Amino acid sequence: MTLPMGRAMREAFGQTVSELATSNPRIVMLDADTGSSTKADIFQKAHPERYLQMGIAEQNMLGVAAGLATMGFMPFVSTFVPFAVVRPLDQIRVLIAQTGLNVKICGGYAGLFIGATGKTHLVVDDLAIMRAMPGMVTVAPADDVETGQALRWAATYEGPVYVRLVRDATQRLFDETYSFAPGRAAIVRDGGDVTLISTGSQTPRVVDAAELLAARGIQAYVLHVPTLKPLDVPGIVAAADRTGVVVTVEEGTVIGGLGGAVAETLSEHRPTVVKRIGLQDVFGESASNSELLELYGLSAARVADQVQAFLEARVTTDHASNSMPLPQLGRVR
Amino acid sequence: MGVAVDAADIALLEDVARGIRVGIIRGVNEAKAGHLGGPLSAADILAVLYFHVMQIRPDEPDWPDRDRFVLSKGHSSIGLYAALALRGYFPVEELLTFDTFGSRLQGHPDMTRLPGLDMSTGSLGMGISAGVGMAIGARLSGLAARTFVMLGDGECQEGEVWEAAFVAARYRLDNLIAIVDYNKLQQYGWQGEGPDDRLPPAWPGELAAKWSAFGWRVLEVDGNDITAVVGALEEATVGDGRPVAIIASTIKGRGVSFMEGRYYWHTRPLTAAEFATAMAELGEPVTSPEGGAA
């Protein structure tokens, strides 16, 4: 049994921010020529006078957002993750994070589902980058329901927020009884054999993986972490205490992202062996969504297999003595 | 504002500019750190903005209807601080805390610390973008507030400046006025004929042509001539649908003879003798052997 499909997060984004702007005249939308893809166009149709096309010039766009915020506006800045986070990173750092200005950075086409556009558009380290930025609330919703709630919360919060949004429809994890809160992780499944911690739209696949494991006699506790900052430290420690064995799973690099955050937290509060599933210090490539999930071990079946192998290896060996390989350079394979 | 100015007004503004230069020299000398050449070249423009053109309330720094100022060339912070102090935003003596631990006068302007700063700057090319946001915000809010942004000529090498220039023209932001402090030197630059000779960041006419090509109304002025600066800023604030770029030709290090036109005074600590000479040239000779100002 697998979780059902929901709406695409980008649809929830366009719809929710449009609704928020109906009651809040200070909300504006800034777009870098990707509105027909990110669904900022939904906002444009509803509020044309507050939709600001900034052209293909993202560094300036983030600066304009900062200026608008000083004038009492609440800018939602929308484009693809590489151009919302990585390209204008110094503008975010100096004009938005250091000032604490009220800008919501909405990174579309997050994670692996980028329409097969390849490594330039597939950002593996946005969560690591934004989580490391002082003062930046970093949100990776699981599904369309949580996306809507997280955006509604962001509009009540005075300060910079990064929200990671997926292009394609993903599985729905939550029903309307769910309530998002920053810094609060959600226990989405109980089990005593292994703790699986995930974030973003990877969590539904981890829940599916837990069902596969259950069929093999392994009961997994699954914790969904929607905000990498603020991080639910007590929730992560309690999740580790529940089973004593922790596996993190994320749709991005394991360095500095969720895996990094969990390892940091547990080494400080509850030293625990942590296996980190995700991209292992590599960039992405062009392929279908399902091919990418297989390639990086993030499909439900591949997650289940890796967790099972990890648990079996723990029984027979102590610590793996893996030496770190040299970084893989960008050559043709 | 179109306010009539007479010789007495000009003399007053010239004395404000002199006071800003004194503040720059004292602040940097006390800190043994900070920039000199760029703040000194900009002093006359800052004087005219803060004492003649801008609608501001020093006792109400967040007054919503105020004109905005962004020092995009944030490394000239001490010049802005001196203008703010003289205008009454904070005590002039606080300039001596510049760049020191706990000071509100950070090395680069930090709006979270010091009232009266409309934007934090210091990473070049960004302030003009923030200014575009302020100008759009003023229009959306129905405010008459104008936004003034000061850039360096070296700063105009940053690509973001031209992203901002393009968008400002596209939105017809005639409530946005950029002032380029065209002092013809940058920190190190391209070497010219001799070891201490440097090529200018932009050739003569180049900046005016570029801003004009990006759809801006361009005014060229002697940026160290108070009367000329007053005229240019008053002309700039009469909108015609285009944003305005004032190319203000200045001398880097203006007001201190041994700093003028020398690239290495971009940032450099002063010796006691240099400090004394500079203060004497600015009409405030040092009396104490410790080098404290008279």
The mean pLDDT of A18-33, rounded to a whole number, is 98
Q: Which of A67, A90, A98 shows the shortest C-beta gap to B133?
A: A67
Residue A62 sits at the chain B interface (C-beta within 8 Å) = yes
Residue of chain B whose alpha carbon sits nearest to that of A91:
B126
Per the CB < 8 A criterion, the answer to whether A140 and A164 are in contact is: yes
Instruction: Say whether B134 and A54 touch across the interface (CB within 8 A).
Output: no
Does residue A323 have a pLDDT over 60? no
Q: Chain A: residue nearest B125 by CA?
A: A60
Selection from A276, A226, A282, A269 nearest residue A246 by Cα: A276
Dig out the tokens for B96 from the structure.
Answer: 């001596």
Establish if B229 belongs to a structural domain: yes
What is residue B51's DSSP assignment? I
pLDDT in the model for residue B242 = 98
Flag whether B176 is in a domain: yes
pLDDT confidence of residue B101: 96
What topology does CATH give the domain A186-316?
Rossmann fold (3.40.50)
Residue A36 has pLDDT above 60, yes or no: yes
Architecture of domain A7-171: 3-Layer(aba) Sandwich (3.40)
Cβ contacts of B130 on chain A, cutoff 8 Å:
63-64, 66-67, 70, 95
Query: Where in chain A are the domains?
Result: 7-171, 186-316
Nearest-by-Cβ selection for A52 from B64, B121, B136: B136
CB distance B119–A57 less than 8 Å? no
Band the pLDDT of A333: cuts 50, 70, 90. Answer: very low
Q: Which residue in chain B has the smallest CA separation from A88?
A: B160
* pLDDT tens-digit readout, A206-218: 999 999 999 999 9
CA distance A274 to A257: 13
Which of A58, A60, A62, A73 is the best substitution to test chain B (most B C-beta atoms within 10 A)? A60
DSSP class of residue B195 equals T
Query: CB distance from A194 to chain B under 8 Å?
Result: no
The answer to whether A67 contacts chain B (CB < 8 Å) is: yes
Interface of B with A (CB under 8 A): 64, 68, 70, 110-112, 118-123, 125-138, 140-141, 147, 159-160, 163-164, 166-167, 170
Q: Is the distance from CB of B141 to CB of B207 less than 8 angstroms? A: no
Q: How many CA atoms lie within 13 A of A62 on its CB side?
A: 29
Asked if A91 and B111 come within 8 Å (Cβ–Cβ), the reply is no
What CATH number should be reported for the domain holding residue B28?
Answer: 3.40.50.970
Is the CB of A60 inside 8 Å of chain B's CB atoms? yes
Active site residue A211: no
Provide the pLDDT for residue B156.
Answer: 98
A59 near B CB under 8 A: yes
pLDDT digits (tens, 9 = 90+) for A61-85: 999 999 999 999 999 999 999 999 9
- List the strands of the sheet with A161-164, edge to edge: A51-53, A27-31, A74-80, A104-108, A161-164, A137-139, A227-229
Q: Which residue in chain A has the smallest CA separation from B66? A: A71
Confidence of residue A314 (pLDDT cuts 50, 70, 90): confident
Find chain A residues with C-beta within 8 A of B123's C-beta: 90-91, 93-94
B-facing residues of A in 19-48 (CB < 8 A) are: 28
Catalytic residue among A11, A19, A49, A58: A58
Mean pLDDT of A310-332: 65
Q: What is the pLDDT of chain A when averaged over all its residues?
A: 95
Are A63 and B122 within 8 A, CB to CB? no
Interchain CB contact of A71 with B (< 8 Å): yes
Strand locations in A81-191, DSSP E? 104-108, 137-139, 161-164, 169-171, 186-189
Q: Which residues from chain A sit within 8 angstroms of residue B127, using beta carbons?
A: 63
- Whether residue B160 lies inside any domain: the answer is yes
Residue B286 included in any domain: no
Q: Which of B194, B10, B12, B31 is nearest to B107 (CA)?
A: B31
pLDDT confidence of residue B288: 66
In a domain, B13, yes or no: yes
Q: What is the pLDDT of residue B3?
A: 60
Q: How confident is the model at residue A330 (pLDDT cuts 50, 70, 90)?
A: low
| Ranges of residues in chain B whose predicted pLDDT is under 70 | 1-3, 288-294
Same fold, A7-171 and A186-316: yes
The pTM of this model reads 0.95
Q: Which residue of B has its CA nearest to A53?
A: B167
**Is A67 in contact with B130 (Cβ distance < 8 A)?**
yes
Chain A closest CA to B257's CA: distance in Å? Answer: 35
Boundaries of domain holding B19: 7-281
Does B294 reside within a domain? no
Chain A residues with CB under 8 Å of B120 CB are 94-95, 98-99
SS (H, E, C) A261-279: HHHHHHHHHCCCCEEEEEE
CB pairs under 8 A between A and B: 110
Contact B132 A91 (CB under 8 A): no
- Return d(Cα A46, Cα A154) in angstroms, integer: 20
> Would you call A135 an interface residue with chain B, using a CB distance cutoff of 8 Å?
no
Distant-in-sequence, close-in-space partners of B272: CB < 8 Å, separation ≥ 6: B291
Q: Judge residue A306's burial from the number of C-beta atoms within 10 Å of its C-beta, 0-12 exposed, 13-18 middle, 19 or more buried.
A: middle
In this complex, which of B130, B131, B167 lies closest to A57 when CB atoms are compared?
B167
What is the number of domains present in chain B?
Answer: 1
User: Is B293 contained in some domain?
Assistant: no
CB contacts of B110 in chain A (<8 Å) are: 98
